[in-house]
Amino acid sequence: MKKKVFFLLGWLFTGLGLIGVVLPLLPTTPFILLAAALFAKSSERCERWLKQSRVYKRYAVPFLEAGGLSLKKKVELLMTVYALLLLSGIVIANTHVRIFLAVLAIVKLIVICRMPTIDKKKDMVNL
């Protein structure tokens, strides 16, 4: 039963990670890393497939090797996310949605700031 739950969660987080590739509001790297960990506990075949995928190689491997993001990458990421959130807040005139977007902006800032900042020379992550 436990393996089945890990397997399903692995696919859920893989899907969220893939959505995060095209939608900068979702963090791709943490979702892909979590999916890999869940597949490691549930399915060797799915883990092998994920680790051979372009998404894993592009986002997870460089992050794991470098140990974090450079300050430049963090700023680029936050600027992209905040531009999208601001545009969404302007287009959607619903107070509840705007509050949600503001909370999302704060959460994104906290997540990015808590990631280790590495020297620019070590930065291999291509977001």
Please report, as a single letter, which amino acid is at residue 81. V
Closest CA to 47 of 2, 19, 6: 6
* pLDDT band (50, 70, 90) for residue 70: confident
- 111-121 pLDDT, tens per residue? 888 888 887 65
From 66, 90, 107, give the residue that closes a domain.
66
* pLDDT band (50, 70, 90) for residue 108: confident
Please identify which residue in the block is written with the tokens 């905040």.
82
* Residues 11, 56 share a domain: yes
Query: What is the maximum alpha-carbon separation in the chain?
Result: 47
By the 10 Å C-beta count (0-12 exposed, 13-18 middle, 19+ buried), 21 is classed as middle
* Residues 62, 74 share a domain: no
- 9-50 pLDDT, tens per residue? 999 999 999 998 887 777 788 899 999 999 999 999 999 999
In DSSP terms, 117 is beta-bridged to 69
Question: Is residue 20, in this structure, part of any structural domain at all?
Answer: yes
How many domains does the chain fold into?
A: 2
Which DSSP category does 122 fall into?
Answer: G
Instruction: Report how far residue 64's alpha carbon sits from residue 74's, in angstroms, rounded to the nearest whole number.
Output: 16
Residue 66 has pLDDT above 90, yes or no: no
> What contacts 24+ positions apart, CB below 8 Å, involve 46-49?
46/7, 46/10, 46/11
CB-CB neighbours of 39 under 10 Å? 24
> What pLDDT score does 120 carry?
64
Q: Report pTM.
A: 0.68
Domain containing 51: what range? 2-66
Question: Is residue 118, in this structure, part of any structural domain at all?
Answer: yes
Question: Is residue 127, in this structure, part of any structural domain at all?
Answer: no
